């Protein structure tokens, strides 16, 4: 099938390449000429495992191309819209500027029978508004939210755990759902749940999934706060409650909390939308979820300060990690980088290292010192803090090796990913998050 994908960021670029990899003919479109030039050369403009390979293959096969010219969308059967919906400057609501601009630019190139499939995360009610604009062209709007995790985006796109499509009522909606079933044929054929619903439900599935995940993380981080004043160990607590199949161990990793381009802004936009709908109280707890999350960054900073006898001024602190999570170079709302910035603000000599995210981090926070080499970053450090659980730090950095490089013997484990006993046995003062 011929497909167009409007927006070639973390979502759209992966979607375009993944759709080509399952046999479709795809054109990716973006207003950013640099991004398009890089994608056209077969170079992934950001780090995402597996993307480079399917990009190269897609371009070589002739099924995948990229352009800044939205007219190239003409002739495609399905037009995916995967542009960003960032948090509004000065508010909590989602900024729909890019979604509106993408739809406006697409309208002149739509033909009757085309399907426009929104993938961006939008406030509930957006699809109904956009459908009115699209309907004049004879095309059908559907909402097909994306649940991909950065770091596993290729796999999550090709082999998702569910597909959700919000469609208008009647034959038009049924036809559009059928078209999407064809697009996702390999996943559908292997029995992946394919849920056809209305616009509002499809939009809400996405934001409620992210709200639930954020709540789960903040729940365990709240337990970490209680553990800290009682001497309990939150990681054992998580293991124990995680054995209950109704609870499950996933997303019960206590630490410096969630960040990234989705969870933080999505729960805020959800609160803002619920307020607009007169149901703010229904999701009031999301404010608490946000507050708990942000407190954990401060807690990690405090652990470093306390471990260095109350003063970090002039001390060298090595910060292991800048990305919001491993297997990503994304530093949007990264708790790791936030901790580094706060320590820098207290006068510490902060050196940040990360296997992938240094360039992005430096663009955002040029005031920090960066060192690509892990060992150079920790050399002569008074304290080491691990804030992104890359294997390079979690598994591959032995306490004995670290001891041969650092000045001090203080390690703060912002992700509860290090072997506490091994570090203590090697003579280190180890501090976890919600652990004795
Ligand atoms: C998330 C959703 O998982 C995905 O379905 C949605 O489409 C987009 O948002 P992503 O932002 O890639 O994906 O990251 P995710 O893996 O969900 O992690 C989010 C944050 O939570 C990271 O900062 C991570 O470090 C943190 N986290 C995760 C925890 O602090 N503890 C955990 O147990 C799990």
**Of 147, 219, 262, 296, best ligand 1 pocket probe by most atoms within 8 Å of the beta carbon:** 262
Structure tokens at 365: 């926070």
Q: State whether the beta carbon of 122 lies less than 6 angstroms from ligand 1.
A: no
Percentage, residues of the chain above pLDDT 90: 100
Domain range list for the chain: 2-197, 231-436
Q: What share of the chain is helix, strand, coil (3-state, %, to 5)?
A: 45, 15, 40
**C-beta separation of 97 from 66 below 8 A:** no
Kindly report the protein residue whose alpha carbon is nearest to atom 10 of ligand 1.
149
DSSP 282: G
User: What pLDDT is recorded for position 296?
Assistant: 98
Below-70 pLDDT ranges, the chain: none
Kindly report the protein residue whose alpha carbon is nearest to atom 19 of ligand 1.
258
Phi and psi at residue 178, in whole multiples of 5°?
Answer: -60, -40
Kindly report the protein residue whose alpha carbon is nearest to atom 21 of ligand 1.
258
- As assigned by CATH, the class of the 231-436 domain is alpha beta
Q: Compute, in angstroms, the gap from residue 333 CA to the centroid of ligand 1.
A: 12
Q: Compute, in angstroms, the gap from residue 149 CA to the centroid of ligand 1.
A: 7
Phi and psi at residue 354, in whole multiples of 5°?
Answer: -165, 140
Q: State whether the beta carbon of 217 lies less than 6 angstroms from ligand 1.
A: yes
Report H helices in 27-109.
Answer: 33-40, 51-61, 97-106
In 10 A of CB 246, how many CB atoms? Answer: 5
Active site residue 8: no
Residues 301, 282: Cα–Cα separation, whole Å = 33
In 10 A of CB 49, how many CB atoms? Answer: 15
Q: Compute, in angstroms, the gap from residue 407 CA to the centroid of ligand 1.
A: 34
Q: Compute, in angstroms, the gap from residue 169 CA to the centroid of ligand 1.
A: 33
Residues 61, 55: Cα–Cα separation, whole Å = 10
Q: State whether the beta carbon of 251 lies less than 6 angstroms from ligand 1.
A: yes
Phi and psi at residue 142, in whole multiples of 5°?
Answer: -125, 160
Q: Compute, in angstroms, the gap from residue 215 CA to the centroid of ligand 1.
A: 11
pTM: 0.97
How would you write 298-309 as a 3-class SS string?
HHHHHHHHHHCC
Name the CATH superfamily for 2-197. Answer: NAD(P)-binding Rossmann-like Domain (3.40.50.720)
Residue partners of 235: CB distance under 8 A and separation at least 6: 254, 416, 432, 434, 435
Residue 50: which region, alpha, beta or left (left: phi > 0; alpha: psi -120 to 50)?
Answer: left
Q: pLDDT digits over 114-128, tens only?
A: 999 999 999 999 999
Kindly report the protein residue whose alpha carbon is nearest to atom 22 of ligand 1.
258
Kindly report the protein residue whose alpha carbon is nearest to atom 2 of ligand 1.
149
At 29 the three-state DSSP class reads strand
Q: State whether the beta carbon of 82 lies less than 6 angstroms from ligand 1.
A: no
**C-beta separation of 435 from 233 below 8 A:** yes
User: What pLDDT is recorded for position 193?
Assistant: 98
Element (H, E) at 17: helix 10-21
Of 141, 214, 262, 339, the catalytic one is 262
The strand order across the sheet containing 163-166 reads 64-67, 25-29, 2-6, 78-81, 115-118, 140-143, 163-166, 194-197
**C-beta separation of 221 from 293 below 8 A:** yes
Q: State whether the beta carbon of 14 lies less than 6 angstroms from ligand 1.
A: no
**C-beta separation of 189 from 128 below 8 A:** no
User: What pLDDT is recorded for position 182?
Assistant: 98
Q: Compute, in angstroms, the gap from residue 258 CA to the centroid of ligand 1.
A: 6
Cα 342 vs. chain centroid, distance in angstroms? 22
Which atom of ligand 1 has the smallest separation from the CA of 260?
Answer: 11
- Strand 25-29 versus strand 115-118 pairing type: unpaired
- Strand 25-29 versus strand 78-81 pairing type: unpaired
Do the domains spanning 2-197 and 231-436 agree at the CATH topology level?
yes
How far, in Å, are 135, 288, 394, 433 from residue 237 at the CA level?
53, 21, 21, 13
**C-beta separation of 341 from 298 below 8 A:** no
User: What pLDDT is recorded for position 433?
Assistant: 98
Selection from 107, 167, 177 nearest residue 139 by Cα: 107
Selection from 355, 339, 258 nearest residue 47 by Cα: 355
User: What pLDDT is recorded for position 194?
Assistant: 98
User: What pLDDT is recorded for position 68?
Assistant: 98
């Amino acid at each position: 099938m011929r497909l167009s994908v409007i927006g070639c960021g973390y979502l759209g670029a992966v979607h375009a390449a993944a759709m080509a990899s399952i046999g479709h003919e795809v054109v990716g479109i973006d207003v950013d000429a640099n991004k398009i030039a890089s994608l056209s050369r077969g170079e992934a403009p950001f780090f995402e495992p597996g993307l480079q390979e399917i990009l190269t293959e897609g371009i070589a096969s002739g099924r995948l191309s990229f352009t800044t010219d939205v007219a190239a969308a003409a002739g495609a059967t399905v037009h995916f819209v995967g542009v960003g919906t960032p948090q509004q400057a000065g508010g909590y609501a989602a900024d729909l500027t890019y979604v509106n601009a993408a739809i406006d630019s697409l309208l002149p190139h739509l033909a009757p029978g085309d399907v426009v499939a929104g993938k961006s995360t939008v406030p509930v009610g957006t699809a109904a508004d956009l459908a009115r604009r699209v309907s004049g062209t004879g095309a059908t709007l559907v909402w097909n939210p994306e649940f991909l995790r950065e770091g596993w985006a290729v796999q999550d796109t090709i082999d998702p755990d569910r597909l959700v499509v919000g469609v208008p009522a009647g034959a038009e909606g049924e036809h559009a759902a059928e078209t999407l079933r064809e697009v996702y044929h390999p996943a559908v054929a292997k029995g992946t749940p394919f849920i056809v619903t209305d616009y509002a439900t499809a939009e809400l599935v996405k934001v409620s999934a992210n709200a639930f995940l954020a709540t789960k993380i903040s729940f365990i981080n709240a337990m970490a706060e209680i553990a800290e004043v009682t001497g309990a160990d939150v990681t054992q607590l998580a293991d124990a409650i995680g054995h209950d199949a109704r609870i499950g161990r996933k997303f019960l990793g206590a630490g410096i909390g969630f960040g990234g381009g989705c969870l933080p802004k999505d729960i805020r936009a959800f609160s803002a939308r619920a307020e607009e709908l007169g149901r703010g109280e229904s999701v009031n707890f999301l404010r608490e979820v946000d507050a708990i999350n942000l407190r954990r960054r401060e807690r990690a900073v405090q652990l470093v300060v306390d471990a260095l006898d109350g003063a970090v001024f002039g001390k060298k602190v090595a910060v292991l990690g800048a990305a919001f999570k491993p297997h990503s170079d994304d530093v949007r709302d990264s708790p790791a980088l936030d901790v580094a910035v706060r320590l820098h603000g207290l006068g510490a000599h902060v050196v940040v290292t990360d296997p992938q995210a240094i360039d992005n981090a430096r663009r955002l926070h040029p005031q920090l010192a960066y060192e690509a080499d892990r060992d150079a970053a920790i050399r002569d450090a008074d304290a080491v803090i691990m804030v992104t659980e890359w294997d390079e730090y979690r598994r591959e950095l032995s306490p004995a090796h670290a001891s041969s490089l650092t000045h001090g013997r203080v390690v703060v484990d912002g992700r509860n990913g290090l072997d506490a006993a091994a570090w203590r046995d090697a003579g280190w003062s180890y501090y976890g998050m919600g652990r004795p």
